[in-house]
Amino acid sequence: MAKKKVKKAAAKKRKPSAAFMKPMNPSAQLGAVIGANAMPRTEVTKKIWAYIKRNGLQDKKNRRMINADDKLKPVFGGKAQVSMFEMTKMVNKHLK
């Protein structure tokens, strides 16, 4: 019984989507948190997480929840606390 040779496909390196890399302009409320310069969505996410960690805004018991401070509350639609998944949806509303 002969064994079949299996060719492995060359490992392809994924390119980031052009939509994620397109510079977006933050709203005034979001700009107060991350800065007013246009930047890609990936960079916006990095800066928001840096702000959250720097200010200790992750909930101590449920780490998936983010507590809003005075700067983040307008970005979160006035909510005092949102989940990580809600946060990304709300942040996208502040990007043009």
CATH superfamily of 23-92: SWIB/MDM2 domain (1.10.245.10)
Beta-sheet pairing, 81-83 with 65-67: antiparallel
pLDDT at residue 17, rounded to an integer = 73
Cβ contacts of residue 33 below 8 Å, gap of 6+? Answer: 47, 48, 51, 71, 72, 75
| pLDDT recorded at residue 6 | 54
DSSP 20-89: HHS-BPBPHHHHHHH-SS-B-HHHHHHHHHHHHHHTT-B-SS-TTEEE--TTTTTTTTT-SEEEHHHHHH
pTM over 0.85: no
pLDDT for residue 8:
52
pLDDT digit string, tens, across residues 35-64: 999 999 999 999 999 999 999 999 999 999
